[in-house]
Amino acid sequence: MPAISPLTPIRASDHTAGTHGTALTARNLSVFFGQHQVLKRVSLDIAARAVTAIIGPSGCGKSTFLRALNRMHELTPEARMEGDIRLFGEDIYARHVEPVVVRRRVGMVFQKSNPFPTMSIAENVTVGLRLNGLRDKTTLTERTEQSLRMAALWDEVKDRLHAPAISLSGGQQQRLCIARALAVQPEVLLMDEPASALDPLATSHIEELILELKRNFSIVIVTHNMQQAARISDFTAFFYLGELVEFGPTNKVFMNPEKRQTEDYVTGRFG
């Protein structure tokens, strides 16, 4: 993979044609934690500029799959991976590829909002940029506003950017974390149950935001909420016991699944 500046990302539009190209490909992906195999030879294409939902019961490997897409599992000492993952055709596990660059290009938003409590709202947005060496105040100011606007938070915080991030509500904190991920201009955004700890109104804001963001970003979301997956995703992958059972357009997976196991899960017979 050629050297990539942390602040000059390759955009999805540079790689794709038509409505949906492929942003990420996983081939024969297996993940182990010690002797325990969590994922079993999963092969899946993640569409560019679309929302892909990962569904399945607890413990089926959803979050493990998500973390493999930006090498987060490498932070766990006993974890190891087999198989191949490519970002717009580039092997993200190649020896010369730095994990920090992968994680900048493939951002992550976690289940629980995690703003840095000792930092202001503005500092939370720009922390990743500063870690990447950006110091120009004008650029930092512009990127702060741009990112907060993309996260649908600017109008709510523009007059108190220097207030502590923890002064925000739970839903606002989660949108701040999304703004922080967007500030470094990723190509793919991974979301692990981003609304599970939020009230219905805040959840609605997050879902509206996801639908807006897919115009410019490829999004992968893990969710236990079947209604949420049906509302916001273009494609759905159903995992069970570490295996990919079924994958396809969301309408088909929910309305006309090929596998009985999928039908049982999406209709609430188990899980």
pTM greater than the 0.85 cutoff: yes
Please tell me the predicted confidence (pLDDT) of residue 271.
Answer: 64
Beta strands 22-33; 36-47: pairing state: antiparallel
More confident residue, 132 or 219: 219
Res. 53: pLDDT tops 90? yes
pLDDT in tens, 176-218: 999 999 999 999 999 999 998 889 999 999 999 999 999 999 9
Radius of gyration of the chain (CA): 18
Question: Is 78 in contact with 102 (CB distance < 8 Å)?
Answer: no
Res. 13: pLDDT tops 50? no
3-state secondary structure 139-203: HHHHHHHHHHHHCCCHHHHCCCCCCEHHHCCHHHHHHHHHHHHHHCCCCEEEEECCCCCCCHHHH
Q: In the numeric block, which tokens belong to residue 177?
A: 């974390």
